Every structure is written in C-alpha cells, then in structure tokens.
Amino acid sequence: MIAEFPPVLIFWLGALLLPLLPKNIRPWVFLAFPAASLILVLSLPVGTSITVEFLRFELHVCEVTKLSRVFGIIFSLIGIIAGTYALHMKEVGQQVAALLYGGGALCVTFAGDYFTLFVGWEVMAIGSAYLIWARRADDSYAVGMRYLLVHLFGGSMLLAGIVLQVYTTNSLLLQPFAYGESLAAWMILCGVTLNAALPPLHAWLADSYHRATVTGAIFMSALTTKSAVYVLASLFAGWDILMYMGVMMALYGVVYAVLANDIRQLLAYHIISQVGYMIAGVGIGTTLAINGTAAHAFSHILYKALLFMGAGVVLYTTGKSKLTELGGLYKHQRLVYWLYMIGAFSISGFPLFNGFISKSIIVASAGESHHNIAMLLLLLASIGTFLHTGLKLPYWTWHGHDSGIVPSKAPKNMIVAMGIAAFFCTLFGVYPDLLYRELPFAMEYRPYTVFHLVETVQLLVFTFIAFWLYRASLAGEPYMALDTDWVYRAPKAFFQAVFVTNVNRFFEACETIIFRIPVYLAKIFVHPLQFILTLRMPTRDFDPDADRSPLGVPIALTLAITVLVAIWNLF
C-alpha cells in the first residue's frame, strides 16, 4: 500500500524539481512523474477520500470514484507516452508546462469540491497556453493569447457559476445537477462545455491545436477536452440537451474536417467530432451511456495521441503540415504510416482496435434508449471519421501526388512512443474486458457480435468505395474555413479602435493637458501682480523695486486702525 495523496502532487512536484536537473537527464526523469502517478492511481482504492482544511472550508482534494479512476489512469498513461515522444526535446519550459498541465487535469479529475476543481482548471489553461507559445512561430504569441483569453473567459463563467452555487447551497462539494436545476448549474455547464469544445464554444481548439509545438499538441489532444468530459459525466449526466448538442458536435467536426487543409487541424476537428460522441453519451445518461463515455474517452486519448504523433512526425521531418504541400511520403516513412494507420483504424472503429469497442457502446446506448435518429447520425459521423482520418489525411499525405519532399529522419523515441500507443490501441481492441472492468458500471455489453461486425464492415467498406470515387475532390484546398472564432477575431479592428486606440488617445490628451498646466502657471508666476491687474500674460518678470507698493501706505493704515480700535475700547 502506497501512501494516499493526490496524484496531481506528483506532477506538480515534477514541475518544481525538473528545472533543477541537468539538461540531458531531464527528459528521462520527466517520465518518472507520470509513471509514479499511474502507479499511485492504480493503487488508490475506489472510495478513497482525502480532505484538507483550508480557511473555513474542508476541501476534498482527492475523491477516487470508479469514473475518476478511469480518467486518472489514462491521463497518467498518456503522460508517459507523450513524454516518450518528447524525449529528444530538451526545452525545460515545455517540460514544466506539460507537467503543470497534466497535473491540472488530474487535479480536476480527482476533485471533490469546486475550489480544487477550479484550481486545476486554471492551471491547465496556463500550462497549455505555454505549449502554444513555445512553438515560437510568427503567430504563436497571438494564437496563445487568443487561446488563453478564451479559456479565462470560460474559467470566469465557471467561477461565476461556482460562486452562485456555493452562495445558494452553502456547499463546495461537487454534486450531480438535476436537469435545468439552477442558474448556477447552467453557468457551470457553459464554463465546462467551453473546455469540452462544444460548438459554438469550440473555435479555440481548431484555432490552436495545430499551432502548438509538435510534442505539446500530444498533451493538448489528450487533456483539456477529456477532463471537461469527465466533469460533464460526473455533474450533468442525463441532461437531454447534451445529447442533441453532442450529436450536432459529432457532425460539426466532420464537416469542418472536410474543409481543413492542415493535417493537425483536420485531427483537431476530429477531436471535436469524437468528443461529440462522449457528450451525447453524457446526455443519454444511462449507465450504459456513461460507461460508453468513459470508455470512449479512454480509447480516444490513446488513438488521438497516436494520430497527432503521426502528424507531428510529418511536421517535424518535413516542416510542412498542409495537405496541399504534402504527398508521396510513404516510400520514406513506411513505419510511421502504418503506426498512424493503427490510430486511424482505431478512431474509425475497425474491429480489433479500441475505437470499435468503445464508440459502439455509446451508439448502442442511443439505440437502446430509443434515440433512433441520434443513433443514425452518430453512425453518419463515424463514416466521416473514417473518411477523413483514415482515408483523406493518409492518402494525401503519404500517397497521392508525389510532392518530392524528402523528409529528415525522425528521432527514434517518436517512433517508439507511437509504437506504445499503437500497442495499447490494439490491446484494448483485442481484449476489451481489460477496459470494461475499469468502467463505472457493470454491463452486459459485448462488442464482438455478428450483427455489430456486419454493420461495421458494411459501413467501412462502402465508405471506402465512395472515398475512392471522390478522392480527387477531397484533396486539400489552400483556403481557411471561417468558424465561430470569427465573432471575436473579425471585429478586431473595431475593438482595437474603441478599446485601445481611442482610450489611448483620450489618455494622451489628458496627459498633454496636465503637462501644460504647470507650464502655464510658471508663466503666470513670473509676475502674478501684472496678471491679476491686467488679466493678460505677464510681459516681464516681477521687479521688487518697480512693482512693490510703497511701505508708507500699509504702515499708515495699520496705525490708523490701531488708533481707532484703541479709541473704541476707551468708551
């Protein structure tokens, strides 16, 4: 039995220690923290509750439930995989940011109260924003600032909801909300769904993930949205609106993935699409659906990290990430291609891979709850998933026309990390019970039935045939597709004018006036008497000999008054 303490502390301790270590061993030591965290999470029994006194509140900093345990395991595991992928990267800023970020996700996952949740939430925003800035491209500063501001906006909504909730219920503890229970619940929902990238609050994701560093994007693809999914599953299970929004989200990501030209942005839109399944699962809210959400988050983190790692290798070795600039890399990158394809088979729900055993739980739960249209639309979204991630992206990156690019050699650790992720994608696909037994609720569900295999095989084969016929029209196009971030990006000039330029002008004008006043006064005080008498600017300096009035007059006046007062007193 290992001592009981919150896993987040291991990550944050790492963030403190790492900068003190020599550069060359740092990436290796980095791995120790998520590994230790994984061991700790696995050893903490369900039901563990660690409380800390803080001011007059009792904080539940670590509540281990079956649901939080699943997320805790995968967040730690992905830390090891992403750390392996980043072994060649010696930059301490990114390493520390990644540990803070991963810790934030674990803090949120095991939080039993709103205060702990909020602390983890904000640390995640800051840690991840650094991973965008660290790219140091021309636009990195602006992208990171947009990302951070949007998340601080979401954090503010969350905080406002928390304050209202604590004020009305007088309790900091996280308790599931009944549908539409209170204004506080809606505000917390808005704050959380922003991090879950639920349209229309999703644009930060598609704006930033493809602009993060090659290694940082792996952490980002795993942590922010899935920690929000965890919070939704634990607080908002059964909220009908989330099912409709989730289905819409699954399709929204698919449509935009058709339009994306940057391979990492295409994958980012598919995060939105996949998280749509999870949110739909939360909205359906049955035990099967919540199991599906947890299982799919677990699978998704593995295969999405694998896909991002594949795209990251392409970017790292060619310096390019746009479909219009890529093509024909297969002969140079066979291994990377096949490892990527394992991720693609997984996300597309091929039998024997982990997407097959998790996505289907959510789809089945929709069918079981008689949400037939939702079920068919989720299947439609999965067609789109295979179409883009499994066909369009690999076809136009590694096959298609030959771009003539000769990629440099990828560091071995990147390939090894992809291998580890691919191993787990396959492992859980072949032995789904390894994952199923960790799920929050007991279930009868079996993925490998003849019926389910028939359904999947037919969908996949005919999606492929349709793709083959239309592959030419799925080549990348050198355009950018407007998304909801237009709302805050397009009026930039207007806001800049109103809130920056004009405000600056006003202050400049005030400053000029303030500086002019002493100059003016100084001019007056060279000869105040002349100014008072003529009300014009003095024409010369005060001259005591010429301007001072004779002393006789005031002396005579004083004497006269003294005499008058004296006489008055006599009578």
Partner 1 sequence: MKKVHWIILAVITAVSLIAQYSTGEHHHWWDLIPGFYAIYGFVGCILIVKISKWYGKKIVFRGEDYYDR
If the CB atoms of residues 243 and 294 are measured against partner 1, the closer one turns out to be 243
Q: Which segment (87-95, 186-194, 340-348, 464-472) binds partner 1 by CB under 8 A? A: 464-472
Q: Which segment (41-49, 369-377, 414-422, 522-530) binds partner 1 by CB under 8 A? A: 369-377
Give min distance, CB of 159 to partner 1, in A: 29
If the CB atoms of residues 255 and 556 are measured against partner 1, the closer one turns out to be 255
Give min distance, CB of 369 to partner 1, in A: 12
DSSP string, 222-264: HHHHHHHHHHHHHH-TT-HHHHHHHHHHHHHHHHHHHH--BHH
Tell me if 379 contacts partner 1 by CB under 8 A: yes
Tell me if 332 contacts partner 1 by CB under 8 A: no
Tell me if 489 contacts partner 1 by CB under 8 A: yes
Q: Which two tokens stand for residue 62?
A: 């670590």
According to CB under 8 A, which residues from 176 to 195 bind partner 1?
Answer: none
- Answer for which of 89, 313, 474, 527 binds partner 1 (CB under 8 A) is 474
Non-local CB neighbours of 478 within 8 Å, separated by 6+ positions: 261, 322, 324
- Answer for which of 163, 466, 498, 510 binds partner 1 (CB under 8 A) is 466
Contact 378, 366 (CB under 8 A): yes
Tell me if 467 contacts partner 1 by CB under 8 A: yes
Q: Which segment (47-55, 226-234, 351-359, 476-484) binds partner 1 by CB under 8 A? A: 476-484
Contact 106, 224 (CB under 8 A): no
Question: How far apart are alpha carbons 476 and 493 in whole angstroms?
Answer: 30
Tell me if 266 contacts partner 1 by CB under 8 A: no
Phi-psi map region of 294: left, alpha, beta (phi>0 left; psi -120 to 50 alpha): alpha
Give min distance, CB of 487 to partner 1, in A: 12
- Answer for which of 35, 152, 352, 380 binds partner 1 (CB under 8 A) is 380
Tell me if 478 contacts partner 1 by CB under 8 A: yes
According to CB under 8 A, which residues from 428 to 457 bind partner 1?
Answer: 449-451, 453-457
Contact 359, 412 (CB under 8 A): no
Q: How many CA atoms within 13 Å lie on the side-chain side of 347?
A: 34
Treating both helix axes as pointing N-terminal to C-terminal, what angle do 263-284 and 287-318 enclose, rounded to 10 degrees?
A: 170
Tell me if 496 contacts partner 1 by CB under 8 A: no
Tell me if 461 contacts partner 1 by CB under 8 A: yes
Give min distance, CB of 424 to partner 1, in A: 27
- Answer for which of 54, 141, 431, 479 binds partner 1 (CB under 8 A) is 479
Looking at residue 322, what DSSP letter applies? B
If the CB atoms of residues 371 and 527 are measured against partner 1, the closer one turns out to be 371
Query: With CB under 8 A, what is the number of residues at the site for partner 1?
Result: 46
Among 533, 561, 536, residue whose Cα is nearest residue 547: 533
Q: Which two tokens stand for residue 248?
A: 């819409």
Burial class (CB in 10 A: 0-12, 13-18, 19+), 521: exposed
What does the per-residue mask of binding to partner 1 show for 87-126, with x meaning CB under 8 A? ----------------------------------------
Tell me if 490 contacts partner 1 by CB under 8 A: yes
If the CB atoms of residues 461 and 560 are measured against partner 1, the closer one turns out to be 461
DSSP string, 402-469: -------PPPHHHHHHHHHHHHHHHHHHH-HHHHHTTSSS-----S--HHHHHHHHHHHHHHHHHHHH
What does DSSP say about strands 57-63 and 49-54: parallel, antiparallel, or unpaired? antiparallel
- Answer for which of 464, 475, 538, 542 binds partner 1 (CB under 8 A) is 464
Question: How far apart are alpha carbons 138 and 142 in whole angstroms?
Answer: 9
Tell me if 465 contacts partner 1 by CB under 8 A: yes
Alpha-carbon Rg for the chain in angstroms: 33
- Answer for which of 107, 219, 460, 527 binds partner 1 (CB under 8 A) is 460
Distances (CA, A) of 49 to 7, 207, 415, 423: 12, 38, 39, 33
Q: Which two tokens stand for residue 380?
A: 């439609």
Give min distance, CB of 471 to partner 1, in A: 10
Q: What are phi and psi of 517, to 5 degrees?
A: -55, -50
Tell me if 254 contacts partner 1 by CB under 8 A: yes
Tell me if 468 contacts partner 1 by CB under 8 A: yes
Tell me if 521 contacts partner 1 by CB under 8 A: no
- Answer for which of 9, 259, 352, 416 binds partner 1 (CB under 8 A) is 259
Return residues touching partner 1 (CB under 8 A): 254-256, 258-259, 367, 372, 375-376, 379-380, 383-384, 387, 449-451, 453-468, 470, 473-474, 477-483, 489-490, 492
